[in-house]
Structure 1
Amino acid sequence: MSAALLLLVLLPAAGGAVLLLGRHRLDRVGAPLALGLGAVGLALAVVAAVGRPVVTVPFLGRGAAAVADGADLALAVDGLSALLVVTVAAVALVVTVHAAVDHEVRTSRARFFGFWLLFVAAMQLTVTATTFPALLLGWEVMGATSYALIGFRWRLAGRTAAGTTALLTTRAADLGLYVAAGAVLAGSGGLHLSGLGGLPEPWTAVATTGVVVAALGKSAQLPLSGWLSAAMQGPSPVSALLHSATMVAAGGYLLLRVGPDLMAGAATVVVWTGAATALVLGLAAVAQSDLKQLLAASTAAQMGFVVAAAGAHAAGAGAGLLGGAEHLVAHAAVKAGLFVAAGVWLGALGTRALGGLRGAGRRYPVVGAAVVAAAAALAGIPPLSLWVTKDEVLHGVEQAHLPGGAVLHVVLLAAGALSAAYAAKIVAVVLAPASGTGDGSPAPVPAVAAALTLATAAVGLGVLALPGVRDAVARVLDAAPGAAPTPTALAISGGLAVLVAAVVLWRPGLARATERVPLRDWWSLPALLAVAGRAAVRLAGAVDRADAGLDRAVRSVPTGALAAARGAGTADGGIDRGVHGVAGLAVTSARHAAMVDVRGVDGLVRDVATGTGRAGRAARRPQTGLLHQYYAQVAAGLGALLVLLILVR
């Protein structure tokens, strides 16, 4: 069983790496490899969901050498992750069938399916992670590959910018997950996700804030919803996978996973954020004139129900976990089917504008039938899937007994009615009399089959309303949801959905009228993100300039010290040269004095001595002791004196 869980993550990761390294040489095998690994992944997901394996792989040290308890890449499958691994694998496989024949993925197929497989592997790692290192690894790879997939056709204007918007927005929120990991490590000494529970203050507040911010950003909740609009620049298969069972669902899943461990005060914030997003983005969805933008806004709105359920779960309501998990699964099938259909029509008719899709359901009846079924489920029409899952969410919010519970109930009911409005708007357009000329290009049979399969799942998941099925899912989740929603509650929500859908179908102009108001621009949320981004850039520029000034100031100290040292060195060199010059002059003077002394004074003394010696020897010669020699000497002396006197006178 452990091998099944490891392979569930490693096989698509390895396949994606091979395709990316092989580049264009593997373009032909990209789609077949992705399909094969998708089928194997579904089988492995079922095995893991049944066997509930646990796997630990050393990461940041091992045993006593580990940096902290929980520093491993630890994976496990419990009730919640069992539902998600199967959902992710199943939806990914069906959407891969669409991607294999999609017109937007005709070139660079090895690159596309390489990132695709890595994206799926990252989501499977995310939903099975039990430690922060494993969660962060999956979380980060998912964000990076989503950027590559959204901007896949990077040569087209706006594609790279759209990927950048999605990456930077979610990346900014993702920092909260690092803050939470640090708080858990500081407060518990470990890195287990379960360490969120029982942290001392202030680490509980820090960790809770970090997790909530990261999850809300990933699931495109207010005020971070605008990136989802930009992400619609990506190919339709990317939108289908990203909006259904993977990236956007990851935030809601994380909140459901850690709900009971969050700080008590966070439950109210999370529920209200989810409810507000469901209402505001539901209004934005009704106002769209572009099918993919409508579906994108509705994704954020539907994730609002999941986030609200997670908040109720955090407050102790078992129905919150059940409703949130069921809504994640059912919404994945519904939204993937609608995006696949949008991709089929975009390839066949060359447009995604609702005005250009008038009558598309009549031109392509099988796709049209799939869209009508999935849209009816999205609207919450009884007895289809989202009808019961939305009521389960409402039931969980009631159980939580949060402040303003009655108002919350009304807000979520209104958001459910808006679901019916935008779903009916799609149906009214695609079933209207055709406005274009010609029948368009043929729809690829595999893509049509994929849309039909997902729509069938969206309808079939209505069995969640059956008491026996509800109880079975609750046992899988190990939840205690209490009594099911009352028949009256189900009737109210279902009747409201039918009424709103009927009004929109009867008077479609009412929904089209909203296209002329600012709601069409997602309440200007993308513009607000752009403004916030520019403000962040300006702030970063100011900080950079201040930092550069600080750097210059810091560098000026050693520069001044260096200049002073150089001056001192120069002066010291002058002193050295002076000292050396004086020493040299002294040595030269000494040498000259030595020469004078040796050759002058010493020579004179020696000459005097020599002369004296010679004179002494000469004076000694006349001293013979002979009288006649003395007389001769006196005579010579007198003669010489006489001559001198004669000469002088």
Structure 2
Amino acid sequence: MVLWLLILLPALAGGILLAVGRKADGAAAPVSVLVAVVLLGLAVAAALLRPAVEAPGLEGIPAGLAVDGLAGAAVVTVTGIFFAVVVFAGADLGPTEARARFFGLMLLFGAAMLTTVTSTGILTLLGSWELMGAISYALIGYWWPDAARVRSATLAFITTRAADLGMYLAAGAALAGSAVAGAAGGPGPAGGAAGLRLDSLAGMPSGWRDAALAGLALAALGKSAQLPFSFWLSHAMVGPSPVSALLHSATMVAAGGYLLLRIEPGMAATGWLGLAVSWVGALTALLLGAVAFAQRDLKQLLAASTCSQIGFIVLAAGAGSVAGGGAQFVVHAAVKSLLFLVAGLWLTALGTKDLLELRGVARGPANGPVLGYRIAGITFTAGALALGGLPPLSIWAAKDEILAGVLQESPALYIVGLAAAAVSAAYAAKALAVVWAKPATSVSGPAKPAASASDANPAAAAGKRQQHPLPTAALLPLPVLATAAVVLGVAGLPALSRWWQDLLGLPETSTPEPWELAVSGVLALAVIGGIYGQQTRRLLRDGTLLGAPSGNRLKTWLGDWLGLEHAASVLVTRPTMALAVSLAQFDDRVLARSVDAAAVLVLKAATGNDRRIEHGISAAVGSLTGAVRQLARSARRPQTGLVHQYYAQAIIALTVLAALFVVLR
């Protein structure tokens, strides 16, 4: 019952809000917050009770949901972040926005993610995976009158959909492999139920097993914006800030990494897929970290850092470090939701995402309410330091848990992962140096629009901005998330890592040695200190950013997200859109015209039939009815009501009968 409520409550609430529409705008935020509170309680209960349920699916293949250790950690994380984001969104969205549509979509999105993390088989997973992708398109393109935002949402949707084809490959291969195993006397009722279970993939015949797991891995890498799919996350930034916070932290983008952790035993059984996935994750963590460092837009920096941080989860799944990957899933959700919410507050208050225009924003306005800005600045600092891997904060411990397992598998992967951790410290320090830097000039004048990020002299524009007070309700989730970003790191320390592994139901695995913790901690501290100081001096000297594109080809390449969008546009987006346009034209010019022509022919045939056949039949029926009517009238004439006439009629009738009798005899 707990698990059904966990899935159905947000789905029903979201569906009702969408059905009612603008009439429910006033109640949308309070209802969503109430649902989020109940969901958090249900998630904790599910993590403790570990329920499992099944419902009828396809013939012989039930749809199953279950909460084990890893799923328990995931549902609590997802519902906790969802609650924080919904509280923030209630204060962040303007009163004129279509709030019922927004919160309805958010609730449906949460239901889809909760179904994803509790799915036990490919059938259920495929349905929730598709629903999550479709709703993400609607959320990213929430401001649909803006054609540019809709184009970005479409690009993100097409890119992830291209990778999602792997999910269908996996389903087909799993069914075929299960049928082969069943024919050979192996497990698999009805040839499919066992084969579609995620925990049964490792036992399938090798060819079908490898195809199924490779398909799932492809879908997961696309959803998690790993190489070569990373660029779509840049376009997802056009959505509202609460969408970015939820999408990047604990839901859609993290879902791919979670799925890889779930199928880790199967990847290990292939002998090759785990290594391939590990290298994809490691290279994404390194290269997209460099992309983040090269960004001038704060939300773009955070988006690229999401690819980089999820890369560590992917690396953990490929290397068999499920405990470290699970820890990274949890702590990254808290850290990244915090950073995106603060960035959203600054965007709403100042109308800009440009880092140079955000110079000194954490200090607050020179003349005005400072407290809200200081709260946002301090909590952003806690999240950024955790993101940079500063000990003893959360991501430092989680990364070292991952790298300890990676070191047992491949020293080369360990070195790449350590370099990626250093790059994480660099982009975190760059952002911190900017938001805490001394403003270039005094604060006054009208607020700048978001488009000012493209102005020629953003440093000068920073002196003209107007910093509006930050809404108190939107500040409420920030200290809670910052506390989680700081204290959750203790769970990854060697003394407590065994507890975490037991909670997830995992066998004992390697934990980081003291020297590993010291190396990563000293490295993060050195990089954060060095980059922070260098960026601060550069701002004071000439008001420029480290790593920002400035004519240098490498910097431009990194700032353009490795040119991945252009490559995908040539290979995927343009062909897909061209095919869609061609099919639409075929529909308009061939199918629609054929239907119109058929309708005209049918109408003409009906008209001819009416004139030539129906008219004659109608005339015959009319004549027959006229004759019957005349007979009826004639039959009424003898009915006079006079007895002597009835006697006369009887005599005539008897006479006729007698005559007939004589003649016929």
Match of 1:362 in 2: 363
What SS does structure 1 have at the residue aligned with 2:54?
strand
Is the Cα contact below 8 Å between 1:27 and 1:108 reproduced in 2?
A: yes
What SS does structure 2 have at the residue aligned with 1:382?
coil
Structure-2 separation of matches of 1:108 and 1:425: 36
Match of 1:267 in 2: 274
Gaps (5+ residues) in structure 2? Answer: 179-190, 365-372, 445-465, 539-543, 595-665
- 1:227-265 deviation digits (Å, cap 9, x = unpaired): 000000000000000000000000000000011012221
**1:389 paired to 2:398:** yes
Equivalent residue for 1:227, pick from 227, 232, 245: 232
Q: Superposition pairs for residues 161-200 of structure 1, below 5 Å?
A: 161-188=151-178, 189-190=191-192, 191-200=196-205
Q: Superposition pairs for residues 607-618 of structure 1, below 5 Å?
A: none
What SS does structure 2 have at the residue aligned with 1:213?
helix
Is the Cα contact below 8 Å between 2:397 and 2:493 reproduced in 1?
A: no
Match of 2:607 in 1: none
Equivalent residue for 1:530, pick from 561, 564, 569: 569
Match of 2:324 in 1: 323
**1:488 paired to 2:515:** yes
Structure-2 separation of matches of 1:487 and 1:336: 30
Structure-2 separation of matches of 1:127 and 1:308: 19
Q: Superposition pairs for residues 335-346 of structure 1, below 5 Å?
A: 335-346=336-347
Q: Superposition pairs for residues 505-544 of structure 1, below 5 Å?
A: 505-508=532-535, 509=538, 512-516=546-550, 517-518=555-556, 519-537=558-576, 540=579
**1:407 paired to 2:412:** yes
Q: Superposition pairs for residues 186-585 of structure 1, below 5 Å?
A: 186-188=176-178, 189-190=191-192, 191-262=196-267, 263-313=270-320, 320-363=321-364, 364-399=373-408, 401=409, 405-435=410-440, 437-438=443-444, 440-508=467-535, 509=538, 512-516=546-550, 517-518=555-556, 519-537=558-576, 540=579
Q: 1:414: Cα distance to partner?
A: 0.7
Match of 1:633 in 2: none
Q: Could you say which structure has the larger radius of gyration? A: 1
- 1:147-167 deviation digits (Å, cap 9, x = unpaired): 111000111241111111111
Equivalent residue for 1:43, pick from 41, 44, 47: 41
Q: 1:181: Cα distance to partner?
A: 1.0
Q: 1:543: Cα distance to partner?
A: 9.2
Is the Cα contact below 8 Å between 1:330 and 1:385 reproduced in 2?
A: yes
The more displaced of 159-168 and 31-40 is 159-168
1:512 partner amino acid? L
Is the Cα contact below 8 Å between 2:220 and 2:260 reproduced in 1?
A: yes
Structure-2 separation of matches of 1:41 and 1:106: 28
**1:155 paired to 2:145:** yes
Structure-2 separation of matches of 1:43 and 1:355: 42
What SS does structure 1 have at the residue aligned with 2:469?
coil
Tell me the TM-score normalized by structure 1: 0.79
Equivalent residue for 1:129, pick from 111, 119, 131: 119
Distance 1:541 1:238, change over 3 A: closer
Q: 1:105: Cα distance to partner?
A: 7.3
Match of 2:640 in 1: none
Structure-2 separation of matches of 1:184 and 1:231: 32
1:202 partner amino acid? G
What SS does structure 1 have at the residue aligned with 2:65?
strand
Is the Cα contact below 8 Å between 1:504 and 1:511 reproduced in 2?
A: no
- 1:450-505 deviation digits (Å, cap 9, x = unpaired): 12221111001121234443111100112224342011101111111111111111
Structure-1 separation of matches of 2:53 and 2:104: 25
1:271 partner amino acid? S
Structure-2 separation of matches of 1:104 and 1:395: 47
- 1:250-300 deviation digits (Å, cap 9, x = unpaired): 000000001101222101100000001001100000000000000000000
Match of 1:575 in 2: none
Structure-1 separation of matches of 2:162 and 2:245: 24
Distance 1:494 1:198, change over 3 A: same
- Measured on the aligned residues, the alpha-carbon RMSD in Å equals 2.1
- Paired residues in the alignment total 531
Match of 1:78 in 2: 68
Distance 1:528 1:215, change over 3 A: same
Structure-2 separation of matches of 1:133 and 1:104: 39
Is the Cα contact below 8 Å between 1:286 and 1:511 reproduced in 2?
A: no
Structure-2 separation of matches of 1:465 and 1:310: 17
What SS does structure 2 have at the residue aligned with 1:357?
coil
What SS does structure 2 have at the residue aligned with 1:515?
coil
Distance 1:483 1:274, change over 3 A: closer
Is the Cα contact below 8 Å between 1:392 and 1:484 reproduced in 2?
A: yes
Structure-1 separation of matches of 2:206 and 2:494: 42
Is the Cα contact below 8 Å between 1:341 and 1:371 reproduced in 2?
A: yes
What SS does structure 2 have at the residue aligned with 1:153?
coil
What SS does structure 1 have at the residue aligned with 2:86?
helix
Is the Cα contact below 8 Å between 1:425 and 1:504 reproduced in 2?
A: yes
Q: 1:136: Cα distance to partner?
A: 1.1
Structure-1 separation of matches of 2:309 and 2:154: 24
Structure-1 separation of matches of 2:523 and 2:170: 41
Q: Superposition pairs for residues 593-632 of structure 1, below 5 Å?
A: none
The more displaced of 184-193 and 353-362 is 184-193
Distance 1:40 1:524, change over 3 A: same
What SS does structure 2 have at the residue aligned with 1:358?
coil
The more displaced of 507-516 and 279-288 is 507-516
Gaps (5+ residues) in structure 1? Answer: 61-66, 314-319, 556-649
Distance 1:515 1:310, change over 3 A: same
2:57 partner amino acid? F
Is the Cα contact below 8 Å between 2:242 and 2:344 reproduced in 1?
A: yes
